Amino acid sequence: MDVTINVNGTDYIRDIEPRMLLVHFIREELGLRGTHWGCDTSNCGTCVVWVDDEPVKSCTMLAVMADGHRVKTVEGLEGPDGLDPIQQGFIECHGLQCGFCTPGMMMTGRWLIDKNPDISEEEIREGISGQICRCTGYKNIVEAIRWAAEHPKGSEVTA
Amino acid sequence: MQTPAPVDYARATSVDHALQLLEQHGEDARVIAGGHSLIPMMRLRIASPTTLIDLNDLDELKGIRVEGNEIVIGAMTRHAEVLDSAILAEHYPIFREAEKLIADPVVRNRGTVGGSMCQADPSEDLSAVGSALGGTVVIRSKSGSRTVPIREFHFGPYMTQVADGEILTEVRFPIRPGAGSAYEKVERRVGDWPVASAGVFVVVRDGVVSDCGIGLTAVGAEHFSAPGAEEFLVGKAPTEENLAQAAAIAADSCSPVSDQRGPADYKKHLAQELTLRALRRAVAASQGA
């Protein structure tokens, strides 16, 4: 069936099977490979994207359910002025090792900061509790999200 | 890679439309809410509906409101909204305590109250909350609405009163002035199903328990409830001894099974201990109210 899904500000019209999962629509139909596909069981969280401004696990949503909605992926974080602070934070704090969990972590991290700019370490840990980093790098991930909270969009970012 | 079997899809624009679509697409059509139980089951081919009827646009089924002396939760209300609800925090903190332990924040953005109730997993946390509070569910079909006591809603694991051509539309809970409530859960890791959970409400008036409800999940409690323990406690002083006795009666009425989450005797022990802890806190909250 025909769907129109707005991904990172662009409307994409595609003819897809209703059984196609959103993560595969993003990766295979649109070629946006920043969103990763991990456990297949909504446990690991590497496939997290935003649907209408809220993070969801895109392996557990059908693409047809996003018809007419807005999706934002990790590719949509960067703005005209450069990297989003959440991306910069992962650079500054060495928030990744292998990088597999990173797109999901950044999408949830950005949402957590938008909801609560003064978010605590404990709240960040709870916020990313549905996402798994197998490099055991949670400490640096939490620091990266904190870094982004302390360097809001528009503030001077040092590379 | 796990992919669902081929399926048709239709998006409902109203409850009436959804009911019409259900009728039109036959007995193997299913409504889909947050999809966080149904989609994994479809991927494993445990469920193979022929058509999915998407309820996500139905704003009429979303939200939490007070109607007279009842709190009404729409079936399409997300877990995240239940967790953050000021109305529920005021009347029944048990919801917030339970929701904080249901799945994880991202899953709670999609999962719904109605979806959880209708999935009827024998370890569902909200089923214990509902059973403790003893409300009603409203089920709609083309011929009208019917109201079912929440303790009669589940026939057994994965089986509910919702029949072909019907949709759960809302869950209703009586407001009880002065009630204290609490939820206790033991899980193996963050976001997991419980090994065992207990949820309770208690009203203490003039030094005695005037009303109470006990809900249990994952421990084989019939209808997620412990009526014998409630009967014992009502009319008695909320002493430690009486609370412990009620918790023991509640645990006795459970029939947990040994599985990967733990052996049956451990679960029975948890049922008793978690009921006692929840009762203590609910009594304290009621006495402080």
**pLDDT confidence of residue A154:** 73
> What are the chain B neighbours of A67 within 8 Å (beta carbons)?
11
> What are the chain A neighbours of B106 within 8 Å (beta carbons)?
45, 48, 55-57, 108, 130-131
Chain A residue whose CA is closest to B105: A127
Q: Do B7 and A41 touch (CB under 8 A)?
A: no
Which of B223, B229, B201 lies closest to B213 in space, CA to CA? B201
Band of the pLDDT at A159, cuts 50, 70, 90? very low
Average pLDDT taken over every residue of chain A: 95
Q: What does the pLDDT look like over B31-88, one tens digit per residue?
A: 999 999 999 999 999 999 999 999 999 999 999 999 999 999 999 999 999 999 999 9
Q: Do A40 and B54 touch (CB under 8 A)?
A: no
CA distance between the termini of chain A: 45
Encoding tokens for residue A11? Answer: 């409307």
User: What SS3 state is found at B210?
Assistant: strand
**pLDDT confidence of residue A156:** 58
The ranges of chain B with pLDDT < 50 are none
Residue B52 contacts A where some CB pair is shorter than 8 Å: yes
* From-to residues of CATH 1.10.150.120 in chain A: 85-150
* Percent over 90 (pLDDT), chain A: 92
Q: Where are the alpha helices (DSSP H) in chain B?
A: 15-25, 38-43, 79-84, 86-91, 93-99, 105-108, 113-119, 125-133, 227-233, 240-252, 264-288
Q: Do A42 and B2 touch (CB under 8 A)?
A: no
Chain B residue whose CA is closest to A108: B106
Is the Cβ–Cβ distance between A94 and A88 less than 8 Å? no
**pLDDT confidence of residue A136:** 79
pLDDT(A40) > 90: no
Domains in chain B, please, with CATH?
8-54 (3.30.43.10), 59-174 (3.30.465.10), 179-288 (3.30.390.50)
**pLDDT confidence of residue B83:** 98
Residue B59 contacts A where some CB pair is shorter than 8 Å: no
Taking the domain A2-75, which CATH number applies?
3.10.20.30
Q: What angle do CA A151, A126, B89 make, to 5 degrees?
A: 110
Residue A38 contacts B where some CB pair is shorter than 8 Å: no
Q: How far apart are CA A69 and CA B221, in angstroms?
A: 42
Q: How far apart are CA B67 and CA B59, in angstroms?
A: 18
Which of B43, B56, B31, B37 lies closest to B6 in space, CA to CA? B43
Residue A58 contacts B where some CB pair is shorter than 8 Å: no
> What are the chain A neighbours of B7 within 8 Å (beta carbons)?
18-19
**pLDDT confidence of residue A151:** 96
Q: What does the pLDDT look like over B267-280, one tens digit per residue?
A: 999 999 999 999 99
Q: Domain A85-150 is in which class?
A: mainly alpha
Pick A127's closest partner by Cβ from B9, B35, B105.
B105
Q: What is the DSSP string of A65-131?
A: GGTTSEEE-GGGS-BTTBS-HHHHHHHHTT--SS-SSHHHHHHHHHHHHHH-TT--HHHHHHHTTT-
**pLDDT confidence of residue A137:** 79
* From-to residues of CATH 3.10.20.30 in chain A: 2-75
Q: How far apart are CA B33 and CA B61, in angstroms?
A: 11
Chain A and chain B share a number of CB contacts under 8 A equal to: 73
Pick B1's closest partner by Cβ from A19, A40, A54.
A40
Band of the pLDDT at A146, cuts 50, 70, 90? very high
Q: How far apart are CA B43 and CA A33, in angstroms?
A: 22
Average pLDDT taken over every residue of chain B: 97
Determine the average pLDDT of the residues in A122-151. 95
Q: What does the pLDDT look like over A49-104, one tens digit per residue?
A: 999 999 999 999 999 999 999 999 999 999 998 999 999 999 999 999 999 999 99
Listed by number, the residues of chain A in 117-156 with a beta carbon closer than 8 Å to a beta carbon of chain B are 126-127, 129-131
Give the burial string for B265-274 (b: 16+ CB within 10 Å, else e): eebbebbbbb
**pLDDT confidence of residue B289:** 67
